[in-house]
Structure 1
Amino acid sequence: MKYTPKALHENVNISHSSTLWELLLLLGGILGILVIVYIVLGFAVDFVVPRLPSGLEQHLGSLYASAFEAYPSTSAERALQTLTDQIVKTASLQSGQYKVHLIPASQANALALPGGHIVVLSALLNELDSENELAFILAHELGHFVHRDHLRGLGRGLVLIAMSSLLFGLDNTLTNFLMQSLLTIEMRFSQGQETQADLFALETLNTQYGHIAGATGFFEKLAEEDRRSRLTYFFSTHPYPRDRIATLQQHIREFGYAIEAEIPLNVQLHDIPEPPNQKNTTLRDILGF
């Protein structure tokens, strides 16, 4: 009998699917798991942060404190501290917990750091026309402390570092990069957190002066200078300036807040330290990391 071999139509040693496609599916699955874990841990951070003891926050703040010693105190910084202390009392916050640092910089900004540290970059004072505008900005930063936004931002960064160290170890380039980024983060909050801080500042301003003059002044300047469209703010941490103005104006109408004359800036606030010869000063520059 003659043997006739049959052609093999299947081979268990050969995959009929694309190797590249299988790799993409594997990587996509790992990425999906990481995203889910990050979201879950993020919710855990949001749950834990409001319950953290104040002593822990003060310990975190001590990491920054020594960096500010390089900047000598000025009459402008002392005037800022005096105004902040008044706002703290008005808002019924714990006195002595908030320290203002005036840093020479060509960038107009203010930051809230753990431990009650409020950093005011000196160029900001050149953009303000009244004490009321300044009080609103300081109250805005205090609002972040009240809502503990600064710790939420820090907590999510710690989640990323924990995930990276678990997957790749502590002594790898990615983990080191994340740790550096966490230490030099400029405390960027979500648009929702920024809006809540704006509303806290508005209510505090009204309590402080009996009216809300100056609440939208700085944002109006930003809106005039910023020619970008609303679309460019879609992924931004700060709301579109004109949207911030609209939200504040709506709140003013709803609560019937009065608007009266603004108070000129304290003469001591014109003793502004000279900024360094650079376009922008980042938190990395300030803290020296």
Structure 2
Amino acid sequence: MPSVAATYYDGVTAKRNAVQVSLHPEGLAIFAASGRPIAIWPYQEIRRIEGFAGAGLAVTLLKVPGSSAEPQLEIPDPVFASDLAARAPLTLTKGVSARRERRAVVFWALAAIVSLIGLAFYGLPAIAGRLAPLVPAAAEIRLGAAMDPEIRRTFGRSSPLRTCVAPEGQRVLNELVGRFEQAASLHVPLKVVVVDGPLVNAFALPGGYVYLFNGLLQKARGPDEAAGVLAHEIGHVKLRHGLRSVIQAGGLGFLLGTVFGDFAGGTAIILASRSLIQSAFSRDSERQADAFAIDLMLKAGGDPMGLARFFTDAAVADPGGFAWISSHPANAEREQAIRNALKDAAARRPALTPEQWTALRAICQKTE
């Protein structure tokens, strides 16, 4: 059959070469414009390349002995292309493989996204709950220490929160915390401070860090209300609720950082700290902390009814305005649960004497 014009690529460079091609018994013969033979491609080694524009076709040679090159031909003549197709298998090669690769990439990318979403919404909470008890105490303490400066900056706004350290008030706080700590059998030592802020708030970080705001001390009507809130936050420390929430909020990277101990500093600490501040614990977690607080005060001294009274007094005094109250859902239900648990309990002495309570409320007369 007469030769026809074609374009040849040697598979090594991008140079276009004008050639002539013709059909021979042993294969497709390729000649340079000068008539010099370039190659003969066996028909069984020729494969179609998808995507050629026009009535002709583009083909490639599957194997080049001693070379990794993939030479290609573009043959625009439709009659010649038809005759070549009658002699060669011309099954699709690069176009199909490329499409398969693209489909595989898209499929696995979508699968990864779905897996991450499912893990974030369903798997990670369960993982966090199971992982938290396994985190070594030393790692949890380091985590709390890393979060402490960010917490103080967040609440302090223009400047970090200052710690209240008036000597008499500090002695009272240390005595109360010491009684609670001894009775609680904690896995980490407590680091309880009163911070000089007007918020009626209290919260616990992983690693035994507990903060009481001066605003809460001033709003409480008696020592058992403040002691009840403190005992509740110690319950979160004991049950590792904060650690579980931080792992869950921090995501996969923070989860791995917690496992391997590489979580000090960085964006993960900032995001996890702020998430812990802004989110509320689950109702189950709050009920567990309430139950722990009741048991702790019965062991260490104080009237657990103070915690129930704080719910009532705060809600009546300023509905919705108390940060600690507003961040702890289902207060009426929990208040009633506390009262039911203590229905038959004998009257208890207050957690602090009047003189101690006065000193504790004055603890912010000196700060550092």
TM-score band, normalised by shorter chain? 0.5 to 0.7
Cα distance change, pair 65–227 in 1 and its aligned pair in 2 (3 A): closer
**Mapped pair 1:240 → 2:330:** yes
Q: In structure 1, what is the Cα distance between the partners aligned to 2:317 and 2:302?
A: 30
**Mapped pair 1:80 → 2:80:** no
Residue type of the alignment partner of 2:345: Y
8 Å contact kept, 1:219–1:241: yes
Cα distance change, pair 61–178 in 1 and its aligned pair in 2 (3 A): closer
Deviation of residue 242 (structure 1)?
Answer: 1.6
**Mapped pair 1:258 → 2:346:** yes
Query: Please, what TM-score do these two structures have when normalized by structure 2?
Result: 0.54
* 1:218-248 superposed Cα distances (whole Å, 9 cap, x missing partner): 11112213546xxxx9xx7522322221111
Q: In structure 1, what is the Cα distance between the partners aligned to 2:116 and 2:347?
A: 50
Q: In structure 1, what is the Cα distance between the partners aligned to 2:184 and 2:199?
A: 28
Q: Secondary structure at the match of 1:238?
A: coil
8 Å contact kept, 1:122–1:273: yes
8 Å contact kept, 1:109–1:124: yes
Partner of 1:9: none
Q: In structure 2, what is the Cα distance between the partners aligned to 1:270 and 1:123?
A: 10
Cα distance change, pair 59–258 in 1 and its aligned pair in 2 (3 A): same
Residue type of the alignment partner of 2:117: V
**Mapped pair 1:60 → 2:60:** no
Q: In structure 1, what is the Cα distance between the partners aligned to 2:174 and 2:282?
A: 27
Cα distance change, pair 221–73 in 1 and its aligned pair in 2 (3 A): same
8 Å contact kept, 2:231–2:292: yes
Q: In structure 1, what is the Cα distance between the partners aligned to 2:124 and 2:298?
A: 38
**Mapped pair 1:205 → 2:297:** yes
**Mapped pair 1:216 → 2:304:** no
Matches within 5 A, 1:121-270: 121-159=213-251, 180-184=270-274, 185-186=276-277, 188-209=280-301, 212-227=304-319, 238-253=328-343, 256-260=344-348, 262=350, 263-264=353-354, 265-270=356-361
Partner of 1:37: 119
Cα distance change, pair 215–162 in 1 and its aligned pair in 2 (3 A): closer
Q: In structure 2, what is the Cα distance between the partners aligned to 1:177 and 1:48?
A: 22
Q: Which has the higher contact order (CA 8 A, sep 6+)?
A: 1
**Mapped pair 1:107 → 2:195:** no
Q: In structure 2, what is the Cα distance between the partners aligned to 1:78 and 1:32?
A: 54
Cα distance change, pair 237–70 in 1 and its aligned pair in 2 (3 A): closer
Q: In structure 2, what is the Cα distance between the partners aligned to 1:123 and 1:37?
A: 39
Deviation of residue 109 (structure 1)?
Answer: 0.9
Q: In structure 2, what is the Cα distance between the partners aligned to 1:124 and 1:159?
A: 32
Deviation of residue 49 (structure 1)?
Answer: 0.8
8 Å contact kept, 2:180–2:231: yes
Cα distance change, pair 89–99 in 1 and its aligned pair in 2 (3 A): same
8 Å contact kept, 1:102–1:121: yes
Deviation of residue 162 (structure 1)?
Answer: 6.0
Alpha-carbon RMSD across the aligned residues, in angstroms, is 3.4
8 Å contact kept, 1:133–1:215: yes
* 1:236-289 superposed Cα distances (whole Å, 9 cap, x missing partner): 752232222111112223xx32234534353311314279xxxxxxxxxxxxxx
Q: In structure 2, what is the Cα distance between the partners aligned to 1:213 and 1:36?
A: 42
8 Å contact kept, 1:107–1:121: yes
Deviation of residue 43 (structure 1)?
Answer: 1.0
8 Å contact kept, 2:128–2:244: yes
Deviation of residue 35 (structure 1)?
Answer: 3.5
Residue type of the alignment partner of 1:259: A
Q: Secondary structure at the match of 2:203?
A: strand
8 Å contact kept, 1:45–1:152: yes
Higher strand content, 1 or 2: 2
8 Å contact kept, 1:211–1:257: no
